[in-house]
Amino acid sequence: MAASLRTRKISEFTTLPTDSRGAAIQAGNYFQTQDATGTPQTSPLSYSSSPITIVVPQGAILVSFLPTTDMLVSELSNLAQYDLIKANTKEVINCAQMANIYIQRSSADGSLYFKFTFV
């Protein structure tokens, strides 16, 4: 028999699952596959040797990246410091307090599959 999901009402419109102590667990309600630039960039997004700015949508808490080639990701526009996401590897990054994320190829052009998760 499956255990029933315990929930806690946060507001008139929001109910969150709870842990064994009754504390609310924030979980994603929905996702979207475009950023918040004036002309939204959508997934999949082509990237090359020029840095690309991905604007984090308001309310997003996580972003999932899946590049087709090795890709650099940074909080700095010049990518002076970065993390390397290997080709065909999914990585999830907390982005709740971020405005922009910058990406660039490591050695070969590619496509980035991405999605933002919202509470």
Position 3 in a domain: no
Position 16 in a domain: no
Tens of pLDDT, residue by residue over 52-74, are: 999 999 999 999 999 999 999 99
Three-state SS letters, 70-108: CEEEECCCCCCCCEEECCCCCEEEECCCCCEEEEEECCC
Cα 79 from Cα 23, distance rounded (Å): 39
Query: 1 falls in which pLDDT band (50, 70, 90)?
Result: very low
Position 20 in a domain: no
Position 17 in a domain: no
Residue 12: what pLDDT? 57
Position 11 in a domain: no
Position 14 in a domain: no
Does residue 75 or residue 12 have the better pLDDT?
75
Phi, psi values for residue 81, rounded to 5°: -125, 140
Tens of pLDDT, residue by residue over 26-52, are: 666 789 999 999 999 999 999 999 999
With 0-12 CB in 10 A as exposed, 13-18 as middle and 19+ as buried, what is 60? buried
Q: pTM of the prediction?
A: 0.78
What percent of the chain is modeled with pLDDT above 70?
A: 81
Position 70 in a domain: yes
Query: 111 falls in which pLDDT band (50, 70, 90)?
Result: very high
Does residue 10 or residue 17 have the better pLDDT?
17
| Total domains in the fold of the chain | 1
Q: How far is CA 60 from CA 1, 44, 79, 95, in A?
A: 35, 18, 22, 7
CATH of the domain at 69: 2.60.120.10
- Range of the structural domain that residue 111 is part of: 29-118
